[in-house]
Chains A and B, each alone.
Chain A
Amino acid sequence: MKRSYSLVLERDRHLKWRAFDPVEHVLMILCGVTLTGFSTTVFLDVVTRSLGHPWLWLQEVTMTFFVYGIFVGAAAATRRSDHLCLSAITEAMTGRMRLFVETFNRLVVLAAALCMVWFGYLNFLAGFGNFRMPSMTPLASLYAAIPLSGALIALFTVEQLVNGWRNGFAADRRVEERLSA
């Protein structure tokens, strides 16, 4: 029996494997958690400062939520094709040219994601020598977000590449119209 995930976007379904739907669902939940997290900690930061007893560690927690929120969001946006891009030229193309340009675009994204994975991993290792104040937590805890995000972006890009070659990159107009209605 197919399980449906309410937070998974049905747009561009032909470029997605259902097996990765739980991953998108979890990423969307994490985005909500990080957004709630840093909204709450900023609020508490303002309140405690106003009361004259600031909790200094709150800024660290806020930045942790913020940084992870951005990188988790970047990964989720890749699967949902929500990244800001100029798609008008590509969408006007058809046939082999469209296939070539769409493939090239995704290879560029894949290369950037792999750079994030490898060089982000090197930064993560170097981050054990630097510490965040005042908790003295290794900076690696924040740097870890870059290779994790890069790995997810690479995974979703490969998913789009394989499905694009099999089903074509152009969206099914009937599905798009049904969704927009």
Chain B
Amino acid sequence: MTANGLIVSLMAVLFLIFGYLGVPVAFSLIAGVVIGTLFTPVSLPSIIAQLFNGIDAEPLMAVPFFLLVGELMTSANVVVRIANLSQALVGHVRGGLAQVVTVFSMFFSGMSGSSSADVAVLSRTMARPMAEEGYDAAFVAALIAAAATIANLVPPSIMAVVYGAIGNVSIAGLFLGGIAPGLMIGFGLMIYCYFFGPAGFRRPRSSFGNLA
């Protein structure tokens, strides 16, 4: 391994050590990079200047806008409406709430753009009802974690915005390319829950009037 490779590895290892010890991610990155930079001819002021250069990109402004829209939707009770719609759509299918969680995540991913936001909302709204219906806690956690990954793929994925801004890649192209894989994960999870998941409590099929 070259000297540069060793330094990059050192930065990565330090970031992981600090991160797992509980140092906030932003400061783990700064600390890891600053320590690694001490072994290079690069000056430390230029590294700190990268804090500014990294955010001096207009596409990144989409991130707080998505978060703002997410907050507005939460205060408008949209989350409960999505949960009701998901239940009306797939609550009667084998798997019950497991199917509802997956469909809920597919809808909510299209609004939040963040898998952490997805996990937070799904854990708050769906984890308790699932536990009350007898779903295994490990299955619930695994399903929510897996379903939340859809948010990183489908528009408006914050990950796609950041990757596009940093890598100079078309963000619209990334959004377009993420739709099919996102849907595939969603439908894949639904199929898995149908055949291999717990049967769950199946609700009566909703009428078209209920859906509307």
Contacts and interface: CB of A to CB of B under 8 A. Distances in A.
Interface in B23-54: 23-28, 30-31, 34, 44-45, 47-49, 51-52
Contacts of B28: 108
Given A39-B65, A67-B55, A70-B55, A87 B22 contact: yes
Contact of B48 (A38, A78, A119, A142): A119
Contact of B21 (A66, A78, A104, A120): A104
Interface residues of A, number: 41
Interface stretch (B56-64, B89-97, B154-162): B56-64
B31 A89 contact: no
26 contacts: A35-B64, A66-B55, A66-B60, A66-B64, A67-B52, A67-B56, A69-B64, A83-B25, A83-B27, A84-B24, A89-B22, A90-B21, A91-B22, A101-B21, A101-B22, A108-B18, A108-B31, A109-B24, A112-B27, A116-B51, A119-B44, A119-B48, A123-B48, A142-B52, A142-B56, A143-B52
B116 interface: yes
Contact of B19 (A39, A85, A101, A126): A85
A86 B26 CA distance: 12
Interface of B: 18-28, 30-31, 34, 44-45, 47-49, 51-52, 55-56, 58, 60-61, 64-65, 68, 116
Interface in A12-70: 35, 38-39, 42, 59, 62-63, 66-67, 69-70
Contacts of A105: 18, 21-23
Contact of A119 (B21, B23, B47, B60): B47
Contacts of A102: 22
A122 interface: yes
A7 interface: no
B16 to A, nearest CB: 10
A74 B24 CA distance: 11
Nearest to B14: A108
A84 B31 contact: no
A171 to B, nearest CB: 14
Contacts of A9: none
B61 A116 contact: no
Interface string A104-145: 110011011101100110110010000000000000001101
Contact of A85 (B22, B47, B52, B68): B22
Contacts of B26: 74, 83-84
